[in-house]
Amino acid sequence: MGVRKRNTADARKEANKSLAFAKLNNCPTSPRKMRLVADLVRGQKVEKALSILRFSSKEASRKLEKLLLSAINNWEQKNSEGNVAEAGLFVKEIKVDGGVMLKRLRPAPQGRAHRIRKRSNHVTIVLGQVDNTQSN
């Protein structure tokens, strides 16, 4: 690896040190239902997002809570000397994309069949640190 490439890689690594992410693939919930819960926590501080997810009655909130805890743990692995409470972590980005669709047939009257689409989704959470210059 050349010097210039190593320097840019080190700079990128330092910039990404304040970010942490977690992914959940092929979650057997429709993307529309998952987006309803994801919109509640987008842009929130981590402590507030965890309390929102913990007290939400939707089934998708349990899966997102577990994913958020995984992202927090990933941040702790990157920043071993850092403290989560003092870092000012917030949900910088949360994306819900459609996953694979299982197609099934359900019998219908008069010899017909209706198609049942069992949807799944992919969720990505990116956590960021609040800078001292920013105020959230």
Q: Helix, strand, coil shares of the chain as percentages rounded to 5? A: 45, 30, 25
> What does the mean pLDDT of the chain come to?
91
Alpha-carbon gap, residue 63 to 122, rounded angstroms: 12
How confident is residue 133, by pLDDT bands cut at 50, 70 and 90?
very low
What residue type is assigned to position 63 of the chain? K
Helix (H) and strand (E) counts in the chain? 5, 5
Q: Per-residue pLDDT for 135 more than 60?
A: no
Give the pLDDT confidence of 7-65 residue by residue, as tens digits: 999 998 887 777 899 999 999 999 999 999 999 999 999 999 999 999 999 999 999 99
